[in-house]
Amino acid sequence: MGHHLFNDCPNRVLLQKMINMETITSYIKSRPDTSRAEKGFERAELLSILDGVGAFTVFVPTDAAFDALPRELHEGIEEDEDVCDDIFMYHVIQGSYTLEDFKGYIAPGQDEVRVPTAQGEDVVIRSFNDTLSVNGMSITEPDIDCSNGTVHIVEGVLRPPSLLPRSAEAGTPRFEVMSSEKGVRFRLRLSSGEVVAVSKGYVSRSECLNDIETIRHELLKAEVIEVDENEEG
């Protein structure tokens, strides 16, 4: 009888799809390249939630994304429970959204939309050449259907604004990130307004941002030495 009712259901294809699909938690656990994300979601007590009933959108970084984090942030995630909670809750959105859904929320004449996360702060979904990114990070594997929502694999770990270094204001030294069809670069502008350095080109924004974080850290330890201008290295 139950089987008969199921066949008569107008949404039986959708119901069968939901039955056959795994939860977001099961999907994350099934991938060999998201073990770091799995561990983080577990520490933030999100795995059980993402294994239950509901509709969620989850941005999942790969293990390589965690490997690329600056040492200080990596240690913060590992050692500080509040930082870990903030980072991983920032990757979760209430409701299930595909990239087409996000595109539909971008107002005419605009190129981005802000979406609140479970952590409380917004992620920025931006459209460039009809390709979407989240907080400047490429979405490498979008629209993965799960029984309780949608997963998007992203190239970098998303950082809440409250955990980022204080934004540079006018009159303070700052790194300025520039994106174009040719790639991503940054330039270092002093408080005087003078640009003293321009970076190489990067394929991805996350690679550029990670190098900026490394430079910010390493400059504190930099020495001044005399070298021959013809000397290499």
Q: Which of 131, 158, 185 is the last residue of a domain?
A: 158
Of 105, 126, 158, the last residue of a domain is 158
- Kindly report the CATH number assigned to the domain that includes residue 32: 2.30.180.10
Reply yes or no on whether the pLDDT at 229 is more than 70.
Answer: no
pLDDT, average across residues 49-66: 94
- Cα separation, 83 vs 93, whole angstroms: 18
pLDDT (0 to 100) of residue 171: 57
Whether residue 186 sits in one domain with residue 82: no
Contact between 118 and 78 under an 8 Å Cβ cutoff? The reply is: no
Q: How many angstroms separate the CA atoms of 44 and 49, rounded? A: 10
172 with 151, same domain? Answer: no
Statement to judge: residues 51 and 125 lie in one domain? yes
- Alpha-carbon span 214 to 69, nearest angstrom: 9
pLDDT mean across residues, the chain: 82
The answer, yes or no, to whether residue 180 has pLDDT greater than 90, is no
Record the pTM.
Answer: 0.67
Region 157-175: mean pLDDT is 70
More confident residue, 199 or 58: 58
Query: Domain containing 205 — which CATH number?
Result: 3.30.160.160
Q: Are 23 and 94 part of one and the same domain?
A: yes
Q: Note whether 130 and 176 are same-domain residues.
A: no
| pLDDT mean over 65-90 | 88
Q: Hey, which of 168-177, 204-213, 218-227 has the most confident mean pLDDT?
A: 204-213
Could you list the residue range(s) of the whole structural domain that residue 51 is in?
A: 2-158
With 90 as the cut, is the pLDDT of residue 190 above it?
no
The count of domains in the chain is 2
Is the model more confident about 53 or about 2?
53
Residues 188 and 195: beta-carbon distance below 8 Å:
yes
Q: Which residue has the higher pLDDT, 84 or 110?
A: 84
In this structure, the answer to whether residues 126 and 229 fall within a common structural domain is no
